[in-house]
Amino acid sequence: MKIFYDKPFTVPRWIILVADTIIVTASFVLSYFILERFNFSDLVRGHFFIHAGLFSILSLAVFYFMRIYTGLIRYSNSKDMFRIFSAILMVTLLYPFVSQGIAGKLYHIPSLNMSTLLILNFFISSSLLILFRTSIKEVYMLAKGYAMTDVKRVLIYGSDNNAILVKQAIEADGDHKVLVTGFVQSGGKMINSSIEQKKVYHTRELPELHKKFTIDKLILPNGHSGKPEFKAIIDCCLNLGIKIQTVPPSEQWVSGKLRLGQIQDLKIEDLLPRKPIQINNEMVSDEIFGKRVLITGAAGSIGSEIVRQVLSYHPEMVVLCDQAESPLHEIQLELEEKYPSAKIKTFIASIRNLRRMLIPFKEYRPQIVFHAAAYKHVPMMEKHPEEAILTNVMGTRNMADLSVCFGVEKFIMISTDKAVNPTNIMGASKRIAETYVQSLNHASNNPPAAEFLSRLIQDDDDESLTVTANVKTKFITTRFGNVLGSNGSVIPRFRAQIQHGGPVTVTHPEITRYFMTIPEAVQLVLEAATMGHGGEIFVFDMGEPVKIADLAANMIRLSGLIPDKDINIVYTGLRPGEKLYEELLNEKEKTLPTHHEKIKIAKVVSRSYKEVLDDIESLTDLCKQGDNFKLVGRMKVMIPEFISNNSEFSKLDEVKAKRKKVLFIPAFTDDAKIK
């Protein structure tokens, strides 16, 4: 058996053609003898040999032109069976004319009992041809089962035509050691029946099937993982250690056929406890169509997805700005291939360089700016607070001021839930940036920034440069939590750790985060940009918070492994600036609903432009001194709710608390009592 599978003998196609012809000819002879009750008198006269010979030649010709002999028998499927029926039917319909024209008129041989003979022969010959193929196929599959010690046994969900096509695609691929054990579904009339020699089981039998057959994988139709019935199946498979894969909808199959490369492992984002997000594409299209759009951080996870989605709405031009050369080059190549007719410009620069950032505003005059460029890693910024201020605060100020001066219609800032009650430098820097763009929006016609940059632009060599400050820029902030799969997020890190055999490292067993997929987050950004009138901070419904430990365990299970058995989960302790629970709203903030149930407006207390500008300039001066404690101390004054967590800067909070205590001492207390 092993030799039969490892080195299967592929016979020449002409032998299959001859064998098929012999089978149908033998069927013709058998049918005739059955009708004549095995009377051999016609054989003596030789009339029957002419009839049989004509039938054989006609069958050979029809089989050749219909090419039923071309496929590998061990990979025969229902389409091959249909072709056999069609070929036999064709022979059955043509033979009376051939027999009458040649046997009757040429040789004057009496005709046979044609209709009864051909009907009987049709069923016998088609049955024999199908039996011939299925027998060889079953012998091959039996040999495959014996020969493959590392065979992967899979179950396919469903019993419809698509499920059958998935089975056939798996069996038709000789390079993959995969054996289809059967079909499963949650109910229906097909339970306990057989499809192509494979039984249909109920999903409640999964534990028994796994124990009996050692099931390795379950293949589900894509896009159904959020349904309750599928969630129960997925949970059952994850607990049993069965890997889950998905197939795309049939309309995405190449030329109507499924390729094994299209079967993908179930992604962790498919398990998010949240309904799919829908946006008003027509409104977004009205906002972006025919506009010039500038996107900072365009090579990053969020920025690049903003670029992709914006291009789908046919803007006049998209300007991609980033300081990372290689990622920017890669996204440019991707977009040029996917959108060959789109007008795409790339610009390498740091948002911290104001004079450099003047160039894309002068040359392209963007009408919409998506500001996604920022430093985002909490532990890194905790060590380098100056960099957080210069990029997240000063860089945002540069982009906002330029937007005012060049008449940008809308400026959309990408913020974070870490800006709410910040416990780290990164979150605090983003909160300061939020206050600046808000204050700038509320300034009357944005004149302060226009005046500031007018002085700078007057020194420019380009005398033709004009500042378009007569258009009031609408500043909009979008605030959401973590996105799955972004650069540096836990998903790629967990995946790499699992591939290396573990352990998977989690900072704390109780740490939770809000999660959203990158496309979902960007969809909501575009929707918020459309509905924004200026000054709003839009908060996204991130669904239910997810325990990072549960996320890690599910990723291990999705890999077909068992947590703390095959792969250990190790807790390393909270990192500097990290908190257990993220928040989307400050305690003092309230939200207002919008027309989209997933988007709300945070009502925050805004500050005057002059006040915020003075604070930011003081931060800029402190950055030049290189004293991190003075710098962070100033940030804490600007953002009173900024309380460091698990950080060296927690000392500043202790000093602040002591000062508050002294301030609240009653006025009648004398010096002795104070001591």
For residues 98 and 50, give the distance between their C-alpha atoms in angstroms, rounded to a whole number. Answer: 12
Provide the pLDDT confidence category of residue 71 given band limits of 50, 70 and 90: low
Q: What is the rounded end-to-end Cα distance, in angstroms, of the chain? A: 95
Choice between 468 and 38, residue whose per-residue pLDDT is larger: 38
Q: Is the same domain home to 261 and 200?
A: yes
Residue 9 has pLDDT above 60, yes or no: no
Q: Which of 76, 171, 177, 81 is nearest to 128 (CA)?
A: 81
Provide the pLDDT confidence category of residue 257 given band limits of 50, 70 and 90: low
Q: What is the average pLDDT across 261-270?
A: 73
Provide the pLDDT confidence category of residue 315 given band limits of 50, 70 and 90: very high
Find out whether 140 and 203 touch, Cβ atoms under 8 Å. no
Q: Which of 406, 399, 417 is nearest to 322 (CA)?
A: 399
- DSSP letter for each residue of 604-640: -----HHHHHHHHHHHHHHHHHT-HHHHHHHHHHHST
Whole-number pLDDT of residue 58? 79
Residue 48 has pLDDT above 60, yes or no: yes
Residue 572 lies in a domain: no
List pLDDT tens digits, range 169-218. 777 765 557 788 889 888 878 888 888 778 889 888 888 888 888 888 88
Residue 198 lies in a domain: yes
Note the helical H segments in 36-113.
41-45, 47-66, 78-98
Q: Is the same domain home to 70 and 116?
A: yes
For residues 118 and 115, give the distance between their C-alpha atoms in angstroms, rounded to a whole number. Answer: 5
Residue 670 lies in a domain: no
115 phi and psi angles, rounded to 5 deg = -65, -50
Provide the pLDDT confidence category of residue 339 given band limits of 50, 70 and 90: very high
Q: Which of 227-236, 374-383, 529-538 has the highest mean pLDDT?
A: 374-383
Find out whether 557 and 563 touch, Cβ atoms under 8 Å. yes
| Mean pLDDT score of the chain | 79
Q: Is the same domain home to 171 and 137?
A: no
List pLDDT tens digits, range 144-176. 555 555 678 888 888 888 788 888 777 776 555
Whole-number pLDDT of residue 671? 44
SS3 593: strand
Whole-number pLDDT of residue 453? 62
Q: What is the average pLDDT across 259-287?
A: 72
Q: Is the same domain home to 183 and 306?
A: no
Sign for the pseudo-dihedral over CA of 359, 362, 363, 366: positive
Q: What is the average pLDDT across 361-386?
A: 93
Q: What is the average pLDDT across 655-663?
A: 61
Residue 262 lies in a domain: yes
Whole-number pLDDT of residue 664? 47
- DSSP letter for each residue of 248-281: --GGGSBTTB--GGG-EEPPGGGG-SSPPP---H
Domain limit, last residue, from 237, 266, 295: 266
Residue 77 has pLDDT above 60, yes or no: no
Give per-residue burial for 529-539: e unless 16+ CB within 10 Å, then b. Answer: bbbbebbbbbb
Burial label, 276 (beta-carbon count in 10 A; 0-12, 13-18, 19+): exposed
Provide the pLDDT confidence category of residue 110 given band limits of 50, 70 and 90: low
Instruction: Record the tokens describing residue 81, joined without a space.
Output: 């069976």
For residues 209 and 560, give the distance between their C-alpha atoms in angstroms, rounded to a whole number. Answer: 16
Choice between 316 and 555, residue whose per-residue pLDDT is larger: 316
For residues 5 and 148, give the distance between their C-alpha atoms in angstroms, rounded to a whole number. Answer: 9
For residues 597 and 127, give the distance between their C-alpha atoms in angstroms, rounded to a whole number. Answer: 60
Find the Cα–Cα–Cα–Cα dihedral 47, 53, 55, 58, rounded to 10°. Answer: -140
Whole-number pLDDT of residue 452? 61
Q: Is the same domain home to 427 and 532?
A: yes
Domain limit, last residue, from 142, 177, 211: 142
Instruction: Record the tokens describing residue 160, joined without a space.
Output: 């419809």
Residue 319 has pLDDT above 90, yes or no: yes
Report the CATH number that the domain containing residue 433 is assigned in CATH.
3.40.50.720
Residue with the two structure tokens 């699992």: 498
Q: Which of 329, 300, 339, 669 is nearest to 483 (CA)?
A: 300
Domain limit, last residue, from 118, 142, 166: 142
Provide the pLDDT confidence category of residue 36 given band limits of 50, 70 and 90: low
Residue 661 has pLDDT above 70, yes or no: no
Q: What is the average pLDDT across 381-410?
A: 93
Q: Is the same domain home to 133 and 161?
A: no
Note the pTM of the prediction, 2 decimals: 0.68
Q: Is the same domain home to 88 and 180?
A: no
Q: What percent of the chain has pLDDT over 70?
A: 74
Provide the pLDDT confidence category of residue 433 given band limits of 50, 70 and 90: very high
Indicate the pairing of strand 546-547 with strand 512-513. Answer: antiparallel
Choice between 636 and 197, residue whose per-residue pLDDT is larger: 636
For residues 409 and 469, give the distance between their C-alpha atoms in angstroms, rounded to a whole number. Answer: 11
Judged by average pLDDT, the poorest of 29-43, 496-510, 609-623 is 29-43
Residue 42 has pLDDT above 70, yes or no: no
Residue 282 has pLDDT above 60, yes or no: yes
Find out whether 407 and 584 touch, Cβ atoms under 8 Å. no
Choice between 564 and 665, residue whose per-residue pLDDT is larger: 564
Q: Which of 226, 228, 185 is nearest to 205 (CA)?
A: 185
Residue 672 lies in a domain: no
For residues 545 and 151, give the distance between their C-alpha atoms in angstroms, rounded to a whole number. Answer: 39
Give per-residue burial for 64-99: e unless 16+ CB within 10 Å, then b. Answer: eeeebbebbbbebbeebbebbeebbebbbeebeebb
- Please list, in sequence order, all residues whose beta carbon lies within 8 angstroms of the beta carbon of residue 338, skipping any fewer than 6 positions away: 308, 311
Residue 482 has pLDDT above 60, yes or no: yes
Residue 15 lies in a domain: yes
Q: What is the average pLDDT across 320-338?
A: 93
Provide the pLDDT confidence category of residue 668 given band limits of 50, 70 and 90: very low
Whole-number pLDDT of residue 298? 94
Q: Is the same domain home to 193 and 209?
A: yes
- Bridge partners of 295, per DSSP, are 320, 370
Provide the pLDDT confidence category of residue 481 given band limits of 50, 70 and 90: confident
Q: Is the same domain home to 285 and 382?
A: yes
Find out whether 475 and 438 touch, Cβ atoms under 8 Å. yes
Provide the pLDDT confidence category of residue 675 given band limits of 50, 70 and 90: very low
Find out whether 474 and 528 touch, Cβ atoms under 8 Å. no
For residues 63 and 21, give the distance between their C-alpha atoms in angstroms, rounded to a whole number. Answer: 8
Provide the pLDDT confidence category of residue 344 given band limits of 50, 70 and 90: very high
Q: What is the average pLDDT across 41-62?
A: 70
Half-sphere exposure of 666 (CA within 13 A, CB side): 4
Find out whether 53 and 114 touch, Cβ atoms under 8 Å. no
Whole-number pLDDT of residue 20? 76
Q: Residue 331, Cβ neighbours under 10 Å: how many?
A: 22
- DSSP letter for each residue of 92-118: HHHHHHHIIIIIITTT-PPPP-HHHHH
For residues 345 and 326, give the distance between their C-alpha atoms in angstroms, rounded to a whole number. Answer: 15
The answer to whether the peptide bond before residue 503 is cis (omega within 30 degrees of 0) is yes
Q: Is the same domain home to 393 and 351?
A: yes
Q: Is the same domain home to 191 and 313?
A: no
Whole-number pLDDT of residue 673? 38
Q: Residue 415, Cβ neighbours under 10 Å: how many?
A: 24
List pLDDT tens digits, range 13-35. 667 777 777 888 788 777 777 77
Sheet holding 243-247, edge to edge: 194-195, 198-202, 178-185, 152-157, 217-221, 243-247, 264-265
- How many structural domains is the chain composed of? 3
Residue 55 lies in a domain: yes
Q: Which of 625, 618, 642 is nearest to 394 (CA)?
A: 618
Provide the pLDDT confidence category of residue 325 given band limits of 50, 70 and 90: very high
Find the Cα–Cα–Cα–Cα dihedral 500, 502, 506, 510, rounded to 10°. Answer: 140
- Tell me the C-alpha to C-alpha distance, in Å, between residue 339 and each of 285, 309, 310, 332, 333: 17, 11, 11, 10, 10
Whole-number pLDDT of residue 674? 35
Residue 564 lies in a domain: no
Residue 324 has pLDDT above 70, yes or no: yes
List pLDDT tens digits, range 539-597. 887 777 788 888 888 888 887 788 888 889 999 888 887 777 776 655 455 777 777 77
Whole-number pLDDT of residue 658? 65
Write 79-83 long-range contacts (CB < 8 A, 24+). Answer: 80/133, 81/130, 81/133
For residues 263 and 163, give the distance between their C-alpha atoms in angstroms, rounded to a whole number. Answer: 13
Q: What percent of the chain has pLDDT over 90?
A: 24
SS3 73: helix
Domain that residue 300 falls in: 281-482+516-541+586-603
For residues 599 and 30, give the distance between their C-alpha atoms in angstroms, rounded to a whole number. Answer: 76
For residues 417 and 513, give the distance between their C-alpha atoms in angstroms, rounded to a whole number. Answer: 10
List pLDDT tens digits, range 448-466. 655 666 656 655 555 555 5
Q: Is the same domain home to 95 and 154?
A: no
Provide the pLDDT confidence category of residue 5 given band limits of 50, 70 and 90: very low
Whole-number pLDDT of residue 353? 93
For residues 425 and 408, give the distance between their C-alpha atoms in angstroms, rounded to a whole number. Answer: 30
Q: What is the average pLDDT across 328-344?
A: 92
